[in-house]
Amino acid sequence: MGHLDPKTQKKVGHEDFLKYPFFQKGGRRIRLHGTRRKKERVYLEMKNLIDKGITSTNELASRLGKSTKQTRRYIKDMARFGLVKLDPETGMLVKKRLSHIELLSRDRFTKIPEIEKWINDCIARDLQPSTVSHYLKAVKTILLLTKTTPKEVIKSKKDAIEIWAKFMVEFRKQNPARGTQYYRVSFKNFLASFEITFAPRMGKMYGLSSSHDKYGGYAGVSLSPELTKKIGDMILTNDDLQLYTWWRIGLRTGARTKAISTMVWERIYFDEKNEDGSQSFKLEQHETKDARGQYHLGQNGEWKTKYPPIDLRELLLRWRKESGVNSRFLWFKDSLSDEQNRRNAERVRERTIRKLRRYFEKIADQVDPLTREYMIKKPGHLMRHILAQQMKDAGMTNEEIADAFGWRTPEIVGTWYTKTSEKKKKEFGLRCSKVIF
């Protein structure tokens, strides 16, 4: 009876099958007879199914004609042989994810010479594969709606502008209220690879500016100190120290959720001192928004240095002691693989954001409509807004906030994240009334 080679999918004899390392022990082959020989066939069949993306135990059991309990036993045996991987935390099968590069290579669209050149340019500019993938989807949509080809788009700047105008007409027919920034940025990036560029004002004239659809629309959304304390108290009442630690890190550092999720203990310096000798501490968080040649978990970004209040130091020490994680990462065990650790971080991030949204919903009737909309729409990003607005209300300038918490420019802080409080506006009005002219 022959068997399928898991790599070549060709039939091989029983003796050849025994050459595979997962059926060897201590340098010698394991002879399989009777029941063991039947198992080896099941293992190969299961592996083929798992490699195709079928990881549900019930589905595997159904396809193999086995019971769920028996299938679970097979999966554990296969993990022992190294045929499959199990998640160390959940014990579930790890489904192989294709990387963005692998997915791109399977798309016929990427084989078009103009698109292939664009992809290579993006890689040369050190853009993340996920960003390239998003750009490609947008440009592909533009070409499909306008029924045109990449070659026709790049004939001249005039052709590019005409095709963009045609796309906007078709897009607005189908999506009258939807934003277009995603498509504008992607289209301009594609054109730039063929030396078709626009000066800032010219791009805006042709409907090809890079500004967001709601430019600064959520500037100033924030929670009062009373409400931030209320949420923190609710989290502690539910005995969720992990969420509370995350919440306080977000409020006191203003980091994006991705940067919080990938934090490591070796980048937290507990024994810093102030100039007067008093205790201080600092931490570093890796932001991938801007590529600065500083890598963490295989991703290009920048380490942002923050000096949070000393009470956060005590909270972090408490979390390290009570969490039981015992890892270089704050929130999960080290899988010794950048790819797997990124997945671990993503899983923690998604779970945490879901929890935060539930707490925000409990105080939704106590905030203004704009904040209510934002806290439900972008719960993971709200803490960054709260920090910026609270610092501005305390008298810090946009420049000081940008320098202390890692924004690229003061203009971003002033336009996107903060607005002048009503109290300050009243003060300005009073001062202005005293000016006689």
Give long-range contacts, CB 8 A cutoff, 24+ apart: 133-138.
133/100, 133/103, 133/104, 134/182, 134/186, 135/185, 135/186, 135/189, 135/190, 136/104, 136/107, 136/109, 136/110, 136/186, 137/186, 138/182, 138/183, 138/185, 138/186, 138/187
**Once rounded to an integer, what is the mean pLDDT over residues 409-427?**
81
pTM confidence score: 0.64
Residues near 116 by beta carbon (within 8 Å), at least 6 away in sequence = 110
Name the pLDDT band for 13 (thresholds 50, 70, 90). Answer: very low
Is residue 431 predicted with pLDDT exceeding 80? no
Using CB atoms within 10 A of its CB, is residue 2 exposed (0-12), middle (13-18) or buried (19+)? exposed
Residues 363, 307: Cα–Cα separation, whole Å: 30
**Cα-based torsion angle of the residue sequence 376, 378, 379, 381 in order, rounded to the nearest 10 degrees:** -160
Closest CA to 182 of 220, 134, 117: 134
- pLDDT at 259 (0 to 100): 97
pLDDT score for 126: 76
Mean pLDDT on 348-372: 94
Most confident of 66-70, 85-89, 186-190: 186-190
What's the CA gap between 399 and 286, in Å, rounded? 21
- Give the pLDDT band of residue 36 (cuts 50, 70, 90): low
Exposure b/e, 134-154, CB count within 10 A at least 16 = b: bbbebbbebbebbebebeebb
Q: Look up tokens 């806290």; give the residue.
A: 375
Task: Give the pLDDT band (50/70/90) at residue 25.
Answer: very low
How sure is the predictor about 24, in pLDDT bands with cuts at 50, 70 and 90?
Answer: very low
What sign has the CA pseudo-torsion 144, 145, 146, 147?
positive
Amino acid, single-letter form, for residue 45: E
DSSP state of 265: G
State the pLDDT at residue 100.
56
Over its C-alpha atoms, the chain yields an Rg (Å, rounded) of 28
Task: Establish how many alpha carbons lie within 13 A of residue 52's alpha carbon, considering only the half-sphere containing its beta carbon.
Answer: 12
Residues 129-149 have a mean pLDDT of: 90
Sheet of 279-287, strands arranged across: 268-273, 279-287, 299-306, 294-296
Q: Single out the residue of 121, 383, 85, 119 nearest to residue 228, CA to CA.
A: 383
Q: Could you tell me the end-to-end alpha-carbon distance of the chain, in angstroms, rounded to an integer?
A: 102
CA angle 255, 256, 262 (to 5 degrees): 90
101 pLDDT more than 70: no
Across the chain, mean pLDDT equals 84
8 Å CB contact between 250 and 285:
no
Identify the bridge partners of residue 300 per DSSP, sorted by sequence position.
Answer: 295
- Confidence check: pLDDT of 230 > 90: yes
Residue 184 near residue 210, CB atoms below 8 Å:
yes
Residue that is written with structure tokens 């201080």 in the block:
280
% the chain with pLDDT above 70:
86
At residue 215, the 3 state secondary structure works out as: coil
Distance CA(242)–CA(246), nearest Å, equals 6
Over residues 247-275, the pLDDT tens digits come to: 999 999 999 999 999 999 999 999 998 88
SS3 207: coil
Domains detected in the chain: 3-81 (no CATH), 101-205 (no CATH), 225-425 (1.10.443)
Distance (Å, rounded) from C-alpha 64 to C-alpha 55? 13
More confident residue, 236 or 123: 236
Q: For residue 5, is pLDDT > 60?
A: no
What mean pLDDT do residues 215-241 have? Answer: 91
